[in-house]
Amino acid sequence: MRVRIVSYEDINAWILGKFARRLREELLNLGVEADIGSEPDPKADINHHIIYLGYDEAKATAVDTLMITHIDDIRKLNLLTSQLKVAKAGICMSAPIMNELASAGLPADRILYISPAHDGVIKPRKIVIGITSKVQPDGCKREYLVEQLFDHISPDVFSLSIMGAGWDSIVDRIRRKGFEVVYHDEFEYDTYTKLVPTFDYYLYTGQDEGSMGFIDALAAGVKTVVTPQGYHLDAPGGIVHAFNEIEELRAIFDRIQAEKQALLDAVKTWNWRDHAIKHMEVWEYLLTGKKAQSQYADGLNSMLGEKQLLTADELRRRKNKMRTGMVRRMLFKLKKLRDREFMKRKISELFTGKK
């Protein structure tokens, strides 16, 4: 397969140029012959246009696909309607826009969506569990629960931050399990006031009326995982997660980890390699008519699957919004033109002295 990515923007300029660059990079990594140009290549198997606004039907090739960004102006809808009489597919960035376009009468079998991608360079920060109490000789802090918790949770997800004396041996054992631990074995007020707001969760395992750190954590907007006793119960909504025994404590952090993992999984396939594969599956289908067994909800499956059509009222409201968008853009351009003429006149007055 030979692919020409037609970029109507300087590829080093802004976001659309990045889409062109990264798509080409991954296509090359996948063994696809691909280049970028400002004009379509009639010898290429696929000409993919970034974006549809620059597409000229008069220069159509055998298989043209169009990247579609937001459609917020009725003129854009009309333009795209005309273009898709010639182009083989319009690739939206989201399912809602795909469904809106299909509802507006564009050919449903030529409309699909492929989610945008991220660079994979941003890594998740570990969830910081904070403790601000010292170990007491009578065991009232139940510090053994902390160690039992860290036997259960993952050092890839959580880290520990402690201010308080007596944790030395427990901290050593937790570190040997691979956890990052910030440990201050003496109380220092200025360090304390800076440390507490860095916590994601304030943990207190004791059952001795309550923790003063609990109050400071709430004052810093930190979520709490504490025992439901003493003055903890007097702060309305202050206990975010309550527990008494280790099984409850472990279950709480299982849920916290699952919540974070769900966020990571939401964009698991929103990377540039998968982005390129989704395009390849669509292009192979357009060239051969053969449907790949795609693992993705977007891409080819969204093209061949049923669209979720808007009701007549929803579509009417959407079109009215696009008409409003057209008027707003026209007024904005007129204002810019008026402001430009005003500035030209003022500059002329400045240099000529004439009004």
Whose CA is closest to 4, among 59, 65, 58?
Answer: 65
Residue 295 lies in a domain: yes
List the domain range (segments joined by +) for residue 80.
Answer: 2-118+269-310
Count of structural domains, the chain: 2
Domain with 278 in it: what CATH number? 3.40.50.2000
Residue 322's pLDDT band, with cuts at 50, 70 and 90, is: confident
**Segment among 4-8, 11-15, 345-349 with least mean pLDDT:** 345-349
Same domain, 147 and 255: yes
Domain identity same for 165 and 253: yes
Q: Is the pLDDT of residue 345 over 70?
A: no
In a domain, 74, yes or no: yes
d(CA 101, CA 315): 10
Please check whether residue 323 lies inside any domain of the structure: no
b/e string for 50-61 if b means 16 or more Cβ within 10 A? bbbbebeeeebb
Tokens 């090359």 correspond to 28
Strand stretches in the chain, DSSP E: 2-7, 33-37, 46-50, 64-68, 89-92, 111-113, 127-131, 158-163, 181-184, 201-204, 223-226, 241-242
Strand pairing class (64-68; 46-50):
parallel
* Residue range 47-90, pLDDT digits in tens: 999 999 999 999 999 999 999 998 888 889 999 999 999 999 99
pTM above 0.75, yes or no: yes
CA neighbor of 112 nearest in space, from 102, 103, 120: 102
**99 within a domain of the structure (yes/no):** yes
